[in-house]
Chain A
Amino acid sequence: GQNIDQPTEMTATEGAIVQINCTYQTSGFNGLFWYQQHAGEAPTFLSYNVLDGLEEKGRFSSFLSRSKGYSYLLLKELQMKDSASYLCAAFNDYKLSFGAGTTVTVRA
């Protein structure tokens, strides 16, 4: 089975940095993914990690520690448009299972 935990909400100021943590327990593991979902819209792929370490993609970075079952998504230089839900997801056995999502609110 899958168990994916992430905080429900986070608030940060425009221009700041926010780190969204995710812990997971899965019966198998083929990668940890992060998706962004604006209210009422479809999720869109942001970043992923298969091996331990940090992956950087512009203002977004994602980190993975497989031994600890832990990942984080780092959002830098926050912009108002980054206000959204961020979904942590574990991929295994052809399934992508999502956490409940972290709603990030960016304030001016």
Chain B
Amino acid sequence: ETGVTQTPRHLVMGMTNKKSLKCEQHLGHNAMYWYKQSAKKPLELMFVYSLEERVENNSVPSRFSPECPNSSHLFLHLHTLQPEDSALYLCASSQDAGRASYNEQFFGPGTRLTVL
């Protein structure tokens, strides 16, 4: 039990669909992250939210839209995706106490997304 849950675990969608990925953390953390893991590539950071404000957006296409309504919940809204967006999407959380601190990130089990 990692304390970070993601739903759904698997998602198949067409290029014209709109769907959302949900992440919830039960650890009392103040920072949450979205990562993309494609086959044979390193994990790519997509978005970072700290204290419910977006602090980093790694040049992610606008067809991915994050939402962080509170410190426990993080969403990734998807629309008009491309087949190359098929990947494992991982959510993580941590207690962000500044650069000098050691704060491991706790990951959820991921959502396996397939875009047809």
Tell me, yes or no, whether A binds B.
Answer: no
| Residues of A in contact with B (beta carbons under 8 Å apart) | none
